[in-house]
Structure 1
């Protein structure tokens, strides 16, 4: 797969192979901080953008063409699997994702469908369009939401600050939680393997809300299912990146699940995390996204400090500790990417 890529820095870094500089891409790099994104978003709903392959490709290509990143990431959403399983999903401006039919009972859980790959084919179609446009310039990253995170949205009915309903479910009705998680895991395995068949070059599993969990609950309700998913991917030559908010705590368990790369939030020292992981497990991260609000001089200093910490380490992908915020200045993001691309080991 990498033989066809003109720039395979991400793939080589993910597999802990020697590279001249760290590759750079950023979570939410095709997003609301770009006026070009809004030119598209003002014409369509968010779900229309995700479900129309040509539009999804347009948005995916924005950071490729405007920022010069070393990898593209598919424009989609982690909740498309939950929608396909039966969730009535909408996105409300200023609120975020909402499910009109949250999962609250055994009947609700049993009603969730798993034979849903046909309803997600628009994602495969988008991948094919994107790869036609990329023409092998850089890798395309596919992704999915991890089961615990997807469950939390289904159970809460949207975003949550305290995950009260989710934690009540885990504590009072663990069997129901496991039923839901297994269904999501089954769908996610099929979905990611479909993305691989369609042509993605790498996969990232997003467990965005894992930091809500205790260590034991993470092991039981997140790690178990993430391990299952990673073990069942058709991943020959396809690196798998595991991300969660809370990776500074859960990194050892994340590595046990078998990914090629552990993506680290900004709460930890990246070199310390790298040194604690098994040989051959790469790390991704971990600049605090809020640094991108700062003066360009500060942005450069913080990036170069991180690079000095990681000097001599194979298996390092530069990224943020989480996604780009909508009001970060575009020029600051571009400057950060230029700083990375000018660096040489």
Structure 2
């Protein structure tokens, strides 16, 4: 596996110097694009779209045809994993994802097991097909949900405002929750390794609901199992590094803990100041993020100003991948997306030219150690 022609994203995640800040967008292949909606209509349903490698390839490539993004991300869904475990995933109109057989009894939890990866072959076929279609242009990012986030859906049976069933289990039978999480972590390791084997050049773990936990619970029930993933995922293929990104939405307060896992980069939502985050972790990991997706609902001038602010918060340093703090809205105007991407590229190049690496843009650990020691 050789690096793509545009390997800026990979170099940024590995904290290597880059000519500009690379950018991709969470949910960049999605409902805000009319071509996506047309493909989904042809597929018949969201699940059929996910499970057909041809359709998945088509929608993965669609945003790259519109915008000069620095990466493609596999089109799939985090809930394909519990679906492979036999929980019966379906999508109800107006209700989002649901499971026919949520984990509500001890017997069901005891019966849970790591599924054979052949049940997810359609995902791996999609990775292979997308990799081929990219023709070495930009990296392909593979992904999975975190063990805790997957468990939330598996126990609640779908989305939740308060995770009452998860927390009831956590505080009454933590042994059962740990069993689910361990099986999820084992599965995610196999799942991500299979994606890497088929051509994913970076992988990301989405811990969407980790921020709903207390600090103690986060470390015990979320971070512990993401550590298992960091330790188990193959981080090289054919002599090339495969960066791994951990993203806990609402997890900025645990950034140091995330850095200690040994991941290559941490994703941040928009509630965390990038400059402060960089001061906290130094050059130990890269940072990804973190503009508010709502900015795209404003004016083009507002988008440009906010992009510049985020870039300047981080500074003209390496180790930054520009992204939204969460997924792009289906209502985001295309012109604003175009402004965001072009401003990231142009302004970050200008910042590098004005303050090149090796001068006052020295690695952050050179100047931040007194802060950390406090």
TM-score, L = length of structure 1: 0.98
Partner Cα distance (2:115, 2:330) in 1: 35
In structure 2, the residue matched to 1:330 is: 334
The alignment partner of 2:23 has SS state of coil
Match of 2:304 among 296, 300, 305: 300
What's the CA shift string for 1:132-191, capped at 9, x where partnerless?
110000000000000000000010000001111111111111000001101111111100
Number of aligned pairs? 344
**For residues 225 and 84 of structure 1, what CA distance do their matches in structure 2 show?**
19
When structure 1 is superposed on structure 2, of 312-321 and 10-19 the one drifting more is 312-321
Q: Which residue of 2 aligns with 1:238?
A: 242
* Deviation of 1:329 (Å): 1.2
Structure 1 runs, 4 residues or longer, greater than 2 Å off = none
8 A contact 1:280–1:315 mirrored in 2: no
Q: Tell me which residue corresponds to 1:288.
A: 292
Matched, 1:100 2:100: yes
Within 5 Å, which residues of 2 pair with 1:35-46? 35-43=34-42, 44-46=44-46
Q: Which residue in the other structure is 1:133 paired with?
A: 133
Q: 1:155 and 1:115 mapped to 2: Cα distance?
A: 17
| Distance in 2 of aligned mates of 1:143 and 1:31 | 16
Q: Which residue of 1 aligns with 2:18?
A: 19
> Which of 252, 255, 273 pairs up with 1:251?
255
Would you say the 8 A contact 1:244–1:263 is kept in 2?
A: yes
Match of 1:65 in 2: 65
1:278: how far off? 4.6
- 1:253 is paired with a residue whose SS is helix
Aligned mates of 1:121, 1:328 — CA distance in 2: 33
The separation in 2 between residues aligned to 1:178 and 1:167, in whole angstroms, is: 12
Quote the offset at 1:280 in angstroms.
Answer: 2.9
Q: In the alignment, what sits opposite 2:271?
A: 267
- What residue in structure 2 maps to residue 85 of structure 1? 85
Over residues 308-333 of structure 1, what are the superposed CA-to-partner deviations in whole Å (9 max), with x where a residue is unaligned?
12223220000010010111112211
For 2:4 and 2:17, the matched residues in 1 are separated by: 16
CA distance in 1, matches of 2:89, 2:291: 32
Find out whether 1:152 has 2:148 as its counterpart.
no
- Matched residue, 2:76: 76
SS in 2 for 1:107: helix
**Would the aligned equivalents of 1:255 and 1:278 in 2 still touch at CA under 8 Å?**
no
Larger radius of gyration: 2
> Is the contact made by 2:275 and 2:315 (CA closer than 8 Å) also made in structure 1?
no
Compute the displacement of 1:192 (Å).
Answer: 0.4
Unmatched tracts of structure 2, length 5 or more: 353-374
User: For the Cα contact (< 8 Å) 1:15–1:280, is it kept in 2?
Assistant: no
Residue 93 of structure 1: CA displacement?
3.0
CA contact (8 A) 2:283 2:319 kept: no
Q: In 2, distance between residues paired with 1:32 and 1:92?
A: 17
In the other structure, the counterpart of 1:224 is 224
1:197 paired residue number: 197
Partner of 1:339: 343
1:29 matched residue in structure 2: 28
Superposed CA offset, 1:203-252 (max 9, x none): 00000011110000000000110001111111121000111111212212
User: Secondary structure, in 3 states, of the residue corresponding to 2:205?
Assistant: strand
Contact 2:290 2:322 in 1 (8 A): yes
